[in-house]
Structure 1
């Protein structure tokens, strides 16, 4: 018996270690590195180098223009969602913070740290961390929902390497979704949740419905998706692919869906693997697909580089403000912030009816003692800021 119990304890300890926060944090990075290593092993480094050599100045300028286009509409979507939640968010600071988030997403492992930073900064500056985080989560969810709807339509109607599989899998997924919904409803009917749980769930569903069904949010998400597809087509042209836009569209959708997987290194990994496979299955060559993915990754990173200017400008402004202002021990500075604190929103009233009286400037956000540009604390009353839609 003792000998039989020892393997069980060992297996339990191994599973506990695999489920630890440290392993979960680095799992995506490790998976992205493994995918890139396999691609290098199978296709060689010449494909990467060839894709990089094809990038020229005009291509970078066009990429910056597309990046500006998609970032402005992404920031507008964020602004609309924040307003629905009762948080004031001016468009110009939102664009700057979104650029900063895009750069952090591209430069740091995981691909989401910039959005986390943006959510925390905006919530702290607005005086409501919960609403700030929910605004970013719902804003990104809106983009993913539009990508899923458009992607399913494209993959089910246009010729692609997964057309036959998609048409066979789609009915099964629909039936599985209906069955899962029926099970959830049955479980909810058979149990009696606490009143607090019902209120919190109802409030969350109301927020999601009010934000995701807003016409402006849907339009901005569609425009952002079109910008990402245009970037993919530009990358294909730079990489030397002569395939038509109709052929590249389903391949771009597959690449964008792969980019949503949290198994990457700054966005690199699944995108390159899926694009190489899709191009090979479509008869365009796996090497060509990998070159397109590499060029796309470089162009996306270049499109996020204005975020560096935002980081440096905010950091320098914080240093100058701190050096000019002498703060007594008994006094706390109260500078005017860009995001005033929002007063509580009553769930009995539609959140779309946000009045200037309710959400006008009230109490300003306090300056943080930290002047480092990556600090999670507000340094000037502005929020700290995917790739993804």
Structure 2
């Protein structure tokens, strides 16, 4: 809320409202189509990871869960409550809540790591406000990675202590759920398609908001805004994304108002793309009445 309040004080409400007024049918159609693709890829990634951890998750069920999660993430504070819901619900349905939660944690972690790698490559290749600071950022990330690796190596893997059990479980999860031959390529491919889908949706939003900057200039700014979305400090998806977009667009020679308008349109398009998740929430029937239009109701 603080970020949004600061933006309204700085640029006013005009960029928010102007962007929303410019949304048209082609933009909504593109958002729905891209959203369907990214949701299926997220579900595929989740199904692969869950299968690697020994928790059965059919793709159709995963798609329904993911649509519902995207809708909840887009309408509730924090941006992660939908993922928490699908993790716990799938764990209960599978009879192993702990393993169900770990499957979601690992598949989300894999997606964030792939997005970070893609972002670093694009930010290094194309001009952006952070490009001059990229060497220092990469050095910092290398130090952090080395610290994590050393800490992981120092963790006990033998014995009956709780820390040793957690370490063994984490190592086994990564090997079976992410790095196994039957999962790693699918997880990486699905994650890359999801990132590309988010980028495409943001580009559609920027064009809808009237931003005519070339893609080589727009993509790095888009990635910075998308990275900010990973912060669980938003209100129905809005907050850090708009703040970073305003700063990045202004620092790149555009205007803060354009950044706010593009990010606002993106949020609206994502909400529209998540509306099938609302149908999943509404379409509920008892387990004995699964036939008919509400087949996804088996998720309860």
| Same-fold status (TM-score > 0.5) | yes
Kindly provide the CA deviation profile for residues 343-385 of structure 1, in whole angstroms up to 9, marking residues without a partner as x.
Answer: xxxxxxxxxxxxxxxxxxxxxxxxxxxxxxxxxxxx9652x6x
Given the alignment of the two structures, is residue 222 of structure 1 paired with residue 192 of structure 2, yes or no?
Answer: yes
Q: Provide the secondary structure at the position in 1 that maps to 2:129.
A: coil
Kindly provide the CA deviation profile for residues 182-207 of structure 1, in whole angstroms up to 9, marking residues without a partner as x.
Answer: 4664x548x98645643441221121
Give 1:170 shift. 1.6
Q: Could you list the runs of 5+ residues in structure 1 that have no partner in the other structure?
A: 1-32, 322-334, 336-378, 385-389
Of 30, 49, 52 in structure 2, the residue corresponding to residue 62 of structure 1 is: 30
Matching residue of 1:207: 173
Q: Counting helix residues as a fraction of each chain, which structure ranks higher?
A: 2
How many pairs align? Answer: 292
Of 241, 245, 249 in structure 1, the residue corresponding to residue 211 of structure 2 is: 241
CA distance in 2, matches of 1:202, 1:48: 48
CA distance in 2, matches of 1:246, 1:237: 14
Matching residue of 1:304: 274
Given the alignment of the two structures, is residue 264 of structure 1 paired with residue 234 of structure 2, yes or no?
Answer: yes
Q: Aligned in 2, Cα 1:136/1:157: closer, same or farther, shift over 3 Å?
A: same
Q: Aligned in 2, Cα 1:161/1:203: closer, same or farther, shift over 3 Å?
A: same
Given the alignment of the two structures, is residue 167 of structure 1 paired with residue 135 of structure 2, yes or no?
Answer: yes
Aligned-CA RMSD value: 2.3
Kindly provide the CA deviation profile for residues 147-175 of structure 1, in whole angstroms up to 9, marking residues without a partner as x.
Answer: 11111222222211000011233224323
- Moved segments of 4+, more than 6 Å: none
Give 1:180 shift. 5.4
Task: Identify the range of structure 1 (175-184 vs 124-133) with the bigger mean alpha-carbon deviation.
Answer: 175-184
Q: Provide the secondary structure at the position in 2 that maps to 1:101.
A: helix
CA distance in 1, matches of 2:272, 2:29: 9
Query: In 1, are the aligned partners of 2:43 and 2:66 still within 8 Å (CA)?
Result: yes
Between Structure 1 and Structure 2, whose CA radius of gyration is higher? 1
Q: Provide the secondary structure at the position in 2 that maps to 1:265.
A: coil
Matching residue of 2:293: none
CA distance in 1, matches of 2:144, 2:192: 27
Of 243, 246, 250 in structure 1, the residue corresponding to residue 220 of structure 2 is: 250
Query: In 1, are the aligned partners of 2:22 and 2:208 still within 8 Å (CA)?
Result: yes
CA distance in 2, matches of 1:235, 1:204: 39
Matching residue of 2:93: 125
Matching residue of 1:369: none
Task: Identify the range of structure 1 (80-89 vs 273-282) with the bigger mean alpha-carbon deviation.
Answer: 80-89
Using the size of structure 2 for normalisation, the TM-score is 0.90
Query: In 1, are the aligned partners of 2:246 and 2:260 still within 8 Å (CA)?
Result: yes
Matching residue of 2:251: 281
Using the size of structure 1 for normalisation, the TM-score is 0.71
Query: In 2, are the aligned partners of 1:156 and 1:167 still within 8 Å (CA)?
Result: no
Kindly provide the CA deviation profile for residues 196-239 of structure 1, in whole angstroms up to 9, marking residues without a partner as x.
Answer: 64344122112123322311011000011100000011001100
Task: Identify the range of structure 1 (281-290 vs 163-172) with the bigger mean alpha-carbon deviation.
Answer: 163-172
Q: Aligned in 2, Cα 1:55/1:381: closer, same or farther, shift over 3 Å?
A: closer
Kindly provide the CA deviation profile for residues 80-138 of structure 1, in whole angstroms up to 9, marking residues without a partner as x.
Answer: 11110111111112111111111111111111111111011111111111111111111
Query: In 1, are the aligned partners of 2:221 and 2:245 still within 8 Å (CA)?
Result: yes
